[in-house]
Chain A
């Protein structure tokens, strides 16, 4: 459940980038952090959690046209790099409002993507949350590698592997070039806000 600061009239929305190791989660955040400096409150923060690092940064309170005085404040989180323990991933998921699942489109990463998504499902269950209820956007990253002759999974295969049950919005992307990075972010923000609205009703 998102955090509502009644005093400052800010709704904090926690969005987590989740996915297998080296799939491009941190690259997503770094790109966003670089591209939208003006909208970001602080530097990207690295938290040491349970022997691993968690990256996060806050956006400035989101200008929703100052509707009734409430702003939206987006917080982006990810667990970068080769994660040694699942503990950090679970920790970061606590209180999450929306998730971007970053899948690695490289052929050789096919099973890793599936395992990671299954693990996400389990980790959410441990917080009594469901992958079927939480706003989720799929991002099939590294599509640019095809150009370099690296075998890439067709989107249809990725969809079948990862999204056949969920049927959530998906984006082909290249986090390293920025392709569809913002589109993914915008989509998860809007879905998360709708979800929060539903919960509050």
Chain B
């Protein structure tokens, strides 16, 4: 029985292939290591390149193509840059047409071209001569790729005429209980939970590395590989969209991880593995459909919102209070005192006193308030009465809260409080 090799599961299609050719790399290309100015025009292109490296989707490729057009306008007088953009565009079109069937070196060259373009754009030390040399080397690589694609197409034509490929079901590997060890998943679990808490490039890069590592680890377990690919795709999406990522992305990410964990514990046969896998795939597809309609417009909305906020705040005739559009059935915001009361909290020493202990009483009030009180009159007199120093203005917040929060502590932590 045929077993899948690492190459067949390689999601970025750039390593471990039979056609591995290091000549496509001028240097070690790790775009994650290049620290670029995120405000620079090229930064968006970079994120799209990284997305393509991770997963080839129509959306990403379309955005990539649009970004190239924008950069052509920005770099209208920069001939070397324009040649790079032209080359990137051609490769992009090729990948767009072929998608996952694209020659693996196409993506490799795409990364390399971007890497060198960023070097040229961001380095002040490079002379024009040095830039031209880099460009000429890349043109050679581009020509090599064109030749490699032609050769590959010829080989594929020959293979197609020699007989049909085996049915996918016939080459599916058996799933054994020992294939996925739950302990192996712990670092991944930590990273998934970490992203739920805070999204940083560092966390997402670590997640990517961990997914790649596990894909190698579970190379003979196809359901696990598919789940890992899903986790990788979701992480790439979150990385690309950052805070604009759809909230459901995190739920789907968790679901994929949980499915992977179940696979480790419950699945003893391939059929059981499929039963765990299919709901995850279904949910992933639903998520893709959900974000499909919103993905293109998000950046525009963001800039629009910003421009609205930063616009001069001239007073107009009719100022509409905040949240005026919210339906009237929503009465008020979070009322800590009421919430505490509904929890049945009545004791008098509570969280506020613990807070006071922690912060050492009114340490912020004494000096600053004294300084302020001498200068703030008449409004200051009301504001700076020592007794009121830590009391909010108005009557919405009173000392009553202090009488109720204690039981919150008790209910939360138990009666030992």
Contacts and interface: CB of A to CB of B under 8 A. Distances in A.
Contacts of B315: 107-108, 110-111
Contact of B200 (A49, A64, A185): A49
Interface stretch (B146-154, B283-291, B329-337): B329-337
B323 A165 contact: yes
B72 to A, nearest CB: 22
Nearest to B380: A147
Interface stretch (B112-120, B174-182, B205-213, B304-312): B304-312
B196 A174 contact: no
A196 B321 contact: no
Contacts, number: 263
B243 A91 contact: yes
Given A3-B197, A49-B242, A168-B333, 9 more contacts: A114-B320, A118-B323, A119-B309, A121-B322, A121-B323, A136-B333, A171-B392, A185-B359, A187-B392
Contacts of B417: 64-65, 67
Given A68-B414, A194-B340, A165 B322 contact: yes
A2 to B, nearest CB: 9
Interface stretch (B89-97, B136-144, B268-276, B361-369): B361-369
A70 B413 CA distance: 7
B128 interface: no
Interface string A39-69: 1000000011111000000010011110110
Interface of B: 38-39, 43, 196-200, 242-244, 247, 302-303, 305-306, 308-310, 313-316, 319-324, 326, 330, 332-336, 339-340, 343, 350-352, 354-360, 362-365, 367-369, 371-372, 375-376, 379-380, 383-384, 389-394, 396-397, 401, 405, 408-409, 411-414, 416-417
A51 B43 contact: yes
B326 A121 contact: yes
Given A50-B242, A197-B343, A190 B336 contact: yes
Contact of B351 (A68, A136, A190): A190
Contacts of B330: 132, 165
